[in-house]
Structure 1
Amino acid sequence: MMKEQTEFEDTGIIGGADGPTAIFFADKTHKPTLLQRVQRFFSRTKRHFIEKKIVPGTHTIEEVEEYLKSRYGFVEVDRKDSLFIEEYEQMRTSFLFEHRPDLVEGQKIDFDPSEDSAVIMRKLQEKSDKEREIAENIPREVFDIDYHRYIKTGKDINDSMDFTVERNYAYFGGGAQGSNGYIRKWRKIYKDVYKYYGVSEEDIKNKTQRYKDLILELSM
């Protein structure tokens, strides 16, 4: 449950490329507790040992897709499926503003994150709707994405997991729903796929974003 903003000093916003924007409220008025300091210490220690085990070796996004299908039995979703079309449009809009700001120059929609949380949520929806409208007015031949979605279901009807892939910008992500055991299974698969995607010697040496993303995923 989201607490009232009046109890907190700072507000942050995380925008996902393929999903809803998340809002978090950070309390900067108190020092970290002993438990928080201990948790941070163990997190740093875990990341340190993970970094020591990283070896160079990379695969392409297309190879990742084949790995999903051959090793784990994921199946690609029909591109005519209504859910696929909606997710494609959401990702296309997000990637347009992230990767091609030249095409939407002067059309970026901002708002004050210090406002009441209810106002922020309303303005986020208005922002999303307006950006979607802007994206729809840009021809596909000018800007488009190569979006694919893969799914895998469990024995229980409520268990499912999915992978979303965008080839042009080498993006992949996903999620799972269902039993705790099935979600744990998803997390293991996701980490394995991230390791398979891998990093190069240059990534390791320069600590690129690809390298940082790998370390972050493996330490979750």
Structure 2
Amino acid sequence: MEDEHFEIIGGADGPTSIFICDKSKKQTLPQRIMSFSYRIKRWFIEKSIRSGVHSLDEVEEYIKSRYGFVEVDRTEFEFEYEETRTAFLFKYRSDLAQGRDIDLDFDITDDAEEMLIRLNEKIKKEKEIADSIPRDVFDIDFHKYVKKGKDNDDSMHIIIEKNNDYLAAGAQGSKKFMKMFNSVYKDIYKYYGVSEEDIQNKTERYKDLVIELSR
């Protein structure tokens, strides 16, 4: 297993994931072509970006008036709120958990089952730490907006967290509906926009825009 590489990726709006990659395998010709095509596409997208910024309050109004998104009551996404609060606590205010750090040091010889057990323990401990910190000390301004399609299985959602300028989205449904979602979300992200300073300094906001437009 010496050629395998472990990657641990934690998302603010989802559980942490582990990916095991075999680095000994070289990319195939189709994979290299796809990678090259993506880099070319990304280059053109970066060249097309112009400055223009809107606040998340303005984004809220935009998605409601232009696309008909409706805000969901907090009781319907309590788990997502708690999960995001925990992730943001450790990302933006790790000082509040100082002295209670959780190590996630995997050994290359560990099997996948053992890693998942330890990962679940980490998630559980982080949640316990987050729960122990009062909401008046740390909290998030979390909002979820939903738009339904004609089919009951078609739905898309926009996540907005205002304290840390976070914008995310997701969808499920038919291929046609997913294609519409991709178009809608790209438009929303372009409306959110970037400043000239973001473009010049290649900030996280700028990088996120490039990634979203490149999908």
1:127 aligns with 2:122: yes
The answer to whether the Cα contact below 8 Å between 1:17 and 1:91 also exists between their aligned partners in 2 is yes
Per the alignment, residue 39 of structure 1 pairs with: 34
- Give me the CA root mean square deviation: 1.4
* 1:77 Cα deviation from its structure 2 partner: 0.6
CA displacement, residues 62-111 of structure 1 (integer Å, 9 cap, x when unaligned) = 111111111110100112x2x32221111111110110011001222222
Per the alignment, residue 210 of structure 1 pairs with: 205
Match of 2:111 among 107, 116, 126: 116
CA displacement, residues 88-147 of structure 1 (integer Å, 9 cap, x when unaligned) = 111111110110011001222222333221122222221111111111111111111101
State how far apart, in whole Å, the 1-side matches of 2:60 and 2:209 are: 17
State how far apart, in whole Å, the 1-side matches of 2:184 and 2:115 are: 35
Q: Secondary structure at the match of 1:15?
A: strand
State how far apart, in whole Å, the 2-side matches of 1:118 and 1:188 are: 39
Match of 2:77 among 70, 81, 84: 84
Q: Which runs of 5+ in 2 are unaligned?
A: none
1:54 is matched by which residue type in structure 2? I
* 1:48 Cα deviation from its structure 2 partner: 0.9
State how far apart, in whole Å, the 1-side matches of 2:209 and 2:14 are: 20
* 1:7 Cα deviation from its structure 2 partner: 9.1
Task: Map 1:157-168 to 2 at 5 A.
Answer: 157-168=152-163
The 1:118/1:169 distance shift into structure 2, 3 A limit, reads same
Per the alignment, residue 3 of structure 1 pairs with: none
1:103 aligns with 2:96: yes
User: 197-206 or 112-121, which moves further after superposition?
Assistant: 112-121
Per the alignment, residue 176 of structure 1 pairs with: 171
2:157 is matched by which residue type in structure 1? D
* 1:8 Cα deviation from its structure 2 partner: 5.4
The answer to whether the Cα contact below 8 Å between 1:8 and 1:25 also exists between their aligned partners in 2 is no
The 1:7/1:163 distance shift into structure 2, 3 A limit, reads farther
Per the alignment, residue 87 of structure 2 pairs with: 94
Task: Map 1:49-88 to 2 at 5 A.
Answer: 49-79=44-74, 81=75, 83-88=76-81
State how far apart, in whole Å, the 1-side matches of 2:180 and 2:103 are: 39
* 1:44 Cα deviation from its structure 2 partner: 1.0
State how far apart, in whole Å, the 1-side matches of 2:27 and 2:72 are: 45
1:156 aligns with 2:170: no
Q: Secondary structure at the match of 1:108?
A: coil
1:211 is matched by which residue type in structure 2? Y
2:205 is matched by which residue type in structure 1? R
Q: What TM-score, normalized to structure 1?
A: 0.92
Match of 2:193 among 183, 198, 204: 198
* 1:182 Cα deviation from its structure 2 partner: 1.1
Q: Secondary structure at the match of 2:170?
A: strand
- Report the count of equivalent residues: 213
State how far apart, in whole Å, the 2-side matches of 1:182 and 1:124 are: 34
Match of 2:43 among 29, 44, 48: 48
